[in-house]
């Protein structure tokens, strides 16, 4: 793609990087076929290629974001399926993140939209505040039909009850069992530790049994992904910097062999810390180290040589439909590991059809783009119904929540099933009367 940035514009490292990305695009359109919003809407401007043109014009002319640009970039899921498809290596992720930062700086949304986004930015990354918000939403449930549609959608996603707290609330260090193999830091997540603390518990149990000393550093917080994808780059960097400093301190004081993340959206973000601070004279080195140390839990388990205990190996009669989170398969290029591990645990594993198409969760997307999110969910559920598995496994809390809105089939994190097959307790998401 031909670009026409001025030398002054190119002196900005963000513009220079975006120009390099734009020049790699050859307009082939392969990305359109795998873009969920283009598949659903059929609009060129709701395809990666169309959005690239919009971003190019906006950045090249140094213009404030227009209503058209905001409309079509807001509709982008950041699922990154286009990057997996692209034969030219266009880094759409970095380009759209830059564009969203420009939108945040130059575009004024209507007051209610701005307030809503600001609340998401403040509440979701803070577990205690998020818990209070969920309780308030439960109390407001009887009145939701008189509320604005976006609040109706948000309240409809709130569970009827909250699970009890995780061991993470009281412990900092989780000792290994047997010979020490690795010392790993665990990112506990924000929403996940409130909605599904059992995921962290299963991760800790399983890694501990496999010889890992698991550490949750005391000051670890939000990875920054939520604010980053809302275009609030400064807030995202502040959150990321706090984590980098905390993990770096732990590395220097006690040593860490790895950082394990069991929410794939967070994992993609932490692996991007090196890029986020690439121009920082003080943080680029430590950010690069943290990114290098970060693994999705499935990657780490494969590295450790996971095998189900013979006496606990699950019957192959239990069929598992595997849904691969976009942030895992496209964002981190982690594709085969979860399915291989589930097969090793004894499950009969089948990939859900159209697995490359997003379920519609995409961070805050299901809260901000309700109609499109619902269409994508129904498309995904139709594929689940075609497969009719006993259980659904996935690797991201957003996908678990989203899929749970559309099906009665138990939706679990992959690590919960792996922990069960390795001697851990039966996952609480599976009803006691369920025939497995």
Same domain, 134 and 206: no
In a domain, 426, yes or no: no
Among 374, 436, 432, 371, residue whose Cα is nearest residue 403: 374
**Per-residue pLDDT reduced to its tens digit, 361-390:** 999 999 999 999 999 999 999 999 999 999
Same domain, 92 and 18: yes
Stretch 203-231: mean pLDDT: 93
Confidence (pLDDT) at 175: 65
Q: Which residues contact 344 (CB under 8 A, 6 or more apart)?
A: 306, 307, 308
Tell me phi and psi for residue 131, to 5 degrees: -60, -45
Same domain, 351 and 263: no
Same domain, 216 and 253: yes
Tell me phi and psi for residue 398, to 5 degrees: -65, -45
The SS3 call for residue 188 is coil
Q: Is pLDDT at 66 greater than 50 in this prediction? A: yes
With vertex at residue 390, the alpha carbon angle to CA 386 and CA 391, rounded to the nearest 5 degrees, is 100
Confidence (pLDDT) at 359: 96
* C-beta of residue 395 within 8 angstroms of C-beta of residue 335: no
Taking the CA atoms of 347, 334, 259 and 307 in sequence, report the sign of the dihedral they define.
Answer: positive
Per the structure, the count of domains in the chain is: 4
Computed over every residue of the chain, the mean pLDDT equals 91
Q: Is pLDDT at 171 greater than 50 in this prediction? A: no
Same domain, 139 and 176: no
Same domain, 28 and 87: yes
Confidence (pLDDT) at 176: 61
Which whole-number Å values give the CA distances from 157 to 126, 186, 263, in the listed order?
Answer: 18, 27, 19
| Beta strands across the sheet bearing 391-394 | 348-351, 319-322, 391-394, 411-413
In a domain, 328, yes or no: yes
Stretch 425-429: mean pLDDT: 88
**Per-residue pLDDT reduced to its tens digit, 108-166:** 999 999 999 999 999 999 999 999 999 998 888 888 888 888 888 888 888 877 776 65
Domain boundary among 286, 301, 316: 301
Among 383, 393, 389, 388, residue whose Cα is nearest residue 319: 389
Domain, as residue range, for 266: 167-222+235-301
Stretch 3-29: mean pLDDT: 94
In a domain, 337, yes or no: yes
Q: Is pLDDT at 92 greater than 50 in this prediction? A: yes
Same domain, 115 and 99: no
In a domain, 435, yes or no: no
Stretch 39-63: mean pLDDT: 95
Q: Is pLDDT at 170 greater than 60 in this prediction? A: no
In a domain, 1, yes or no: no
Confidence (pLDDT) at 12: 95
Q: Is pLDDT at 322 greater than 70 in this prediction? A: yes
């Amino acid at each position: 793609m031909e670009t026409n940035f001025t030398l002054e514009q190119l002196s900005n490292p963000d513009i220079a990087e975006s120009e390099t990305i734009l020049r790699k695009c050859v307009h082939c359109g392969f990305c359109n076929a795998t873009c969920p919003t283009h598949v659903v809407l059929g609009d060129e401007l709701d395809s990666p290629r169309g959005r690239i043109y919009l971003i190019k014009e906006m950045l090249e002319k140094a213009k404030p974001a227009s209503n058209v640009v905001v409309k079509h970039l807001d509709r982008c899921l950041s699922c990154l399926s286009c990057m997996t498809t692209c034969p030219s290596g266009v880094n759409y992720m970095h380009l759209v993140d830059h564009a969203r930062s420009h939108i945040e700086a130059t575009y004024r949304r209507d007051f209610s939209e701005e307030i809503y986004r600001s609340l998401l930015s403040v509440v979701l990354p803070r577990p205690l505040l998020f818990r209070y918000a969920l309780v308030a939403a439960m109390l407001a449930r009887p009145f939701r039909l008189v509320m604005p549609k976006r609040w109706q959608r948000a309240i409809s996603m709130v569970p009827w009850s909250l699970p009890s707290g995780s061991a993470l609330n009281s412990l900092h260090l989780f000792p290994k069992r047997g010979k020490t193999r690795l010392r790993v830091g665990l990112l506990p997540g924000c929403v996940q530790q409130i909605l599904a603390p059992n995921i962290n518990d299963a991760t800790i149990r399983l890694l501990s049994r496999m010889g890992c000393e698991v550490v949750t550093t005391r000051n670890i917080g939000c990875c920054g992904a939520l604010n980053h994808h809302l275009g609030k780059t400064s807030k995202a960097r502040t959150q990321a910097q706090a984590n980098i400093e905390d993990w770096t301190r732990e590395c220097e004081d006690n040593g860490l062999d790895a950082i394990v993340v069991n929410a794939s959206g967070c994992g993609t973000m932490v692996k991007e810390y090196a890029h986020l601070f690439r121009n920082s004279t003080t943080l680029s080195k430590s950010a690069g180290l943290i990114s290098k140390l970060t693994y999705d839990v499935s990657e780490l388990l494969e590295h450790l040589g996971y095998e189900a205990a013979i006496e606990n190996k699950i019957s192959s009669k239990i069929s598992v439909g595997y849904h691969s989170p976009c942030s895992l398969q496209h964002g981190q290029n982690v594709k085969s590991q979860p399915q291989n591990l589930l097969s090793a645990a004894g499950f009969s594993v089948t990939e859900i059809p159209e697995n490359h198409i997003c379920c519609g969760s995409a961070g805050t997307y299901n809260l901000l783009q309700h109609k499109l999110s619902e269409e994508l969910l129904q498309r995904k559920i139709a594929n689940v119904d075609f497969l009719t598995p006993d259980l659904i496994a996935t690797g991201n809390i957003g996908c678990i929540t989203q899929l749970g809105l559309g099906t009665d089939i138990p939706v679990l994190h992959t690590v919960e099933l792996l922990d069960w097959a390795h001697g851990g307790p039966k996952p609480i998401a599976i009803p006691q009367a369920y025939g497995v």
